Amino acid sequence: MNTSEEKHAIVTGGSRGIGRAIVTRLLKDGYRVWYLSRTIAEQAEDLASIAEQSQQSVTWIACDIADRTSLEQAMKVAMEQAGWIDLLVNNAGITRDALIMRMKDEAWNHVLQVNLSAAFLTCRALSRHMVQRRQGCIINISSVVGLIGNPGQTNYAASKAGLIGFSKSLARELASRAVRVNVVAPGFIETSMTEALGEPAKTQLQNQIPLGRIGSAYEVADAVAYLASPAASYITGQVLAVDGGMTM
């Protein structure tokens, strides 16, 4: 049964960082959420209690999105359990940094697989469903690095810029069926991905950010919640940078 109040979302990589913040926000916004990651979420019991408070549910599906069979199987399981999907958020992403002269094929391929090809597979798996329902929303998490580049991240930048071109093309393909596709491009956000940077590097980064601080995962989740909401019903094919003004 599809009641107008009940909303279903799939989030890739919801176990920590930005993905976990997105899962939390969607639960509070009244979604039932299925998240796909290799390990269960940090403080999974907190997510379960947020789900309970919001009278929603949160379900972890173990999945390595770099493995095509694992991803296709997880999408199938999520679809079977959910019955229908209103929102897909492709959030899972990795970095394998190296200057191009030292970059191994494996680091190039792995980053492209997780950050770009997995989004292709999830979108392909859900497009027919969303088109048939004549509703749906896809949000892909890119990065400012996909807009402006970064030394040592040719693989990551290619994957994140690729995600933008992919999303704009998909937005054009699906728009006539009322399915919206948008991109959120975070700047520097406090998560395990940026934790590895030492304090001097963080201070240097902060100095390049007009708002003068690193962002929080919840600020990215706010942008996702907005793009998923009826308030963004006339927005498709856009890239929303959540970066403290870095790329203005």
Residue 182, phi then psi, degrees to nearest 5: -135, 170
Q: How far is the CB of 5 from ligand NAI (least distance, A)?
A: 28
227 binds ligand NAI (CB under 6 A): no
Locus of tokens 């379960």: 48
Instruction: Please say if 218 is a catalytic residue.
Output: no
Q: How far is the CB of 143 from ligand NAI (least distance, A)?
A: 3
Stretch of 7-15, 76-84, 98-106, 228-236 contacting ligand NAI, by CB under 6 A: 7-15
Q: Decide whether 84 or 218 has the Cβ nearer to ligand NAI.
A: 218
Q: Decide whether 149 or 178 has the Cβ nearer to ligand NAI.
A: 149
**x-or-dash string of contact with ligand NAI, 111-140, rule CB under 6 A:** ---x--------------------------
158 binds ligand NAI (CB under 6 A): no
93 binds ligand NAI (CB under 6 A): yes
Residue 92 neighbours by CB distance under 10 Å:
28
**Going by DSSP bridges, is the β-strand pair 136-141/7-12 parallel, antiparallel, or unpaired?**
unpaired
Fill in the amino acid letter for 139.
I
Q: How far is the CB of 156 from ligand NAI (least distance, A)?
A: 7
Q: Decide whether 6 or 190 has the Cβ nearer to ligand NAI.
A: 190
Q: Decide whether 37 or 56 has the Cβ nearer to ligand NAI.
A: 37
Site for ligand NAI in 165-204 (CB under 6 A): 186, 188-189, 191-194
Among 122, 143, 154, 155, binds ligand NAI (CB under 6 A): 143
d(CA 107, CA 93): 13
**Nearest in space to 222 (alpha carbons), one of 6, 21, 11:** 21
Q: Total binding residues for ligand NAI by CB under 6 A?
A: 27
CA distances, 202 to each of 27, 109, 178 (Å): 31, 28, 41
- Residues with Cβ within 8 Å of 35's Cβ and at least 6 positions away in sequence, in order, are 10, 11, 12, 13, 14, 15, 19, 23, 41, 58, 59, 60, 61
d(CA 217, CA 239): 17
**x-or-dash string of contact with ligand NAI, 18-37, rule CB under 6 A:** xx-----------------x
Stretch of 14-22, 46-54, 76-84, 98-106 contacting ligand NAI, by CB under 6 A: 14-22
CA distances, 41 to each of 21, 26, 186 (Å): 11, 15, 21
- Residues with Cβ within 8 Å of 123's Cβ and at least 6 positions away in sequence, in order, are 88, 90, 138, 166, 170, 181
Residue ranges binding ligand NAI (CB under 6 A): 13-19, 37-38, 63-66, 91-94, 114, 141, 143, 186, 188-189, 191-194
